[in-house]
Amino acid sequence: MADSFPATCFRADRPGSHPCTVVVGSGGLDVRCDDGAQAHWRYERLTCEPTGDERSWLLVSSADTDQRSAVTALVARDAALLAALADRVGEPCRSTITGLAAGSRARAGSHWRNLLLFALVAALALAAGWWLVTTVVPEVAADVMPIETERQLGSTLVQAFLADKTTVDGGPAVDAVQHIVDRLAAVADTKGTIFTVHVVDSPQVNALALPGGQIVVFTGLLREAGSPEEVAGVLAHEIQHVLRRHAVKRLVQQFGTEAVIGMATGGGNLGRLAGRAGELVQLSYGRDQEAEADREGLALLHRAGLPPEGIMTFFERLRRADPTAMPEFLATHPDTGRRIEDLRRLAAELPETELVPLAIEWDKVRASLAQ
């Protein structure tokens, strides 16, 4: 049974190429143009040669063709047609077809290699873009943002955050937190940052830092702490979040280019950002940022002459009291036990220094909160 395949033919009586059908029979090729023109070519009289820009097409003609024949040649690269011809023609036509098929396979392999290479390059470009957006851009934005802009941003955010909360405006608790922050800030490289303390009347065992030196402490943390040194450990960590501009960087990561441009130019829609203050303060810091705040926070305690063990004692006591209900600032860290171990290791590496106790009567602070 003869097989038929699509091809393109050339005719002596009409310029250009024409669609045709090639029938591979037992005695030769029957070429049938769509307009009715035909030719019959014996296999032993065929001439085959590669053609086309990539030499990927087979040009077939016949010694039987003369000027009176309507069909003078055909071109094709259908794999099934080439395979059928290779089984019937002799040399050198068979070698030409075999070489053409090998070249086609090589080009196909090269195509897939190029496609895979393109996919790899595209994936790397996307990864690089993601790295730039999530790492480099926040770093650059934080570096170029003027301290005054950061202070304005922090002031706007903290006002919005505290709008629906009850604050403690004075007394032993506020004085104690301010005293601790002042002690730590005195030995820190603040680069012009002025820390402002806010004490919120809430049972939450929590503290947080906003851009520009805004420190918020919940009374629940003060009630749970057994000493001012324990609170100092928490605040040293939060102060480092401010000084390392971690809050600015996570804001950039969350709000994107608009926030970057706004902060970098000292403008931007601060009112719009303030409307999302609650969302902002719930964002978690990255592992690297938390590790940096832990490490630098311990170093800050050391420079201030305060025991680095305070924060670890606080965490351990809270965990023993209720392992399933860790405070918010601690519960956001996976594997709290590992974090405490890392803190102990870092504290052990600090050189010895003279410790100067905080001049705070902690019993009076806690009594003021019980009223």
The predicted-structure confidence for 349-359, as pLDDT tens digits, reads as follows 999 889 999 99
The verdict on 94 and 170 lying in the same domain is: no
Judged by average pLDDT, the poorest of 48-52, 148-152, 334-338 is: 334-338
At 83, the amino acid letter reads A
Count of structural domains, the chain? 2
Record the tokens describing residue 114, joined without a space: 């190029």
Q: 49 forms bridges with which residues in the sheet? A: 59
The verdict on 254 and 159 lying in the same domain is: yes
Record the tokens describing residue 65, joined without a space: 């063709």
The verdict on 168 and 257 lying in the same domain is: yes
Residue after which a domain boundary falls, among 104, 136, 159: 104
**Any domain includes 128:** no
The verdict on 81 and 218 lying in the same domain is: no
The verdict on 94 and 158 lying in the same domain is: no
pLDDT in tens, 73-85: 888 878 888 888 8
8 A C-beta contact, residue 166 and residue 135 = no
Task: Give pairs for 89-95: CB < 8 Å, separation 24+.
Answer: 89/43, 89/44, 89/46, 89/48, 90/43, 90/44, 92/48, 93/46, 93/47, 93/48
The verdict on 71 and 209 lying in the same domain is: no
Mean pLDDT of 46-51: 86
**Any domain includes 310:** yes
CA distance 274 to 255: 12
What is the pLDDT at residue 272? 60
**Any domain includes 206:** yes
What is the pLDDT at residue 134? 56
pLDDT in tens, 160-207: 889 889 999 999 999 999 999 999 999 999 988 999 999 999 998 889
The verdict on 182 and 320 lying in the same domain is: yes
Residue after which a domain boundary falls, among 53, 83, 104: 104
Rg (alpha carbons) of the chain, rounded to whole number: 39
The verdict on 185 and 325 lying in the same domain is: yes
Q: Mutual orientation of helices 137-144 and 246-255 as an angle, nearest 10°? A: 120
Task: Give pairs for 262-269: CB < 8 Å, separation 24+.
Answer: 263/141, 263/145, 263/149, 263/150, 263/153, 264/141, 264/144, 264/145, 266/145, 266/146, 266/148, 266/149
The verdict on 201 and 296 lying in the same domain is: yes
The verdict on 221 and 343 lying in the same domain is: yes
Q: Which of these, 197, 174, 173, lies nearest to 185 by C-alpha position?
A: 197
**Any domain includes 117:** no
235 or 16, greater pLDDT: 235
**Any domain includes 241:** yes
The fraction of the chain above a pLDDT of 70, given in percent, is: 77
Residue 313 burial (CB count, 10 A): 17
Q: Which of these, 279, 290, 276, lies nearest to 332 by C-alpha position?
A: 290
The verdict on 182 and 308 lying in the same domain is: yes
Residue after which a domain boundary falls, among 87, 104, 121: 104
Q: Which of these, 40, 331, 34, lies nearest to 206 by C-alpha position?
A: 331
- Return the CATH number at 45: 2.30.29.30
The verdict on 60 and 156 lying in the same domain is: no
pTM of structure = 0.62
Q: What is the domain extent for residue 90?
A: 3-104
- Peptide bond just before 92 cis, omega within 30 deg: yes
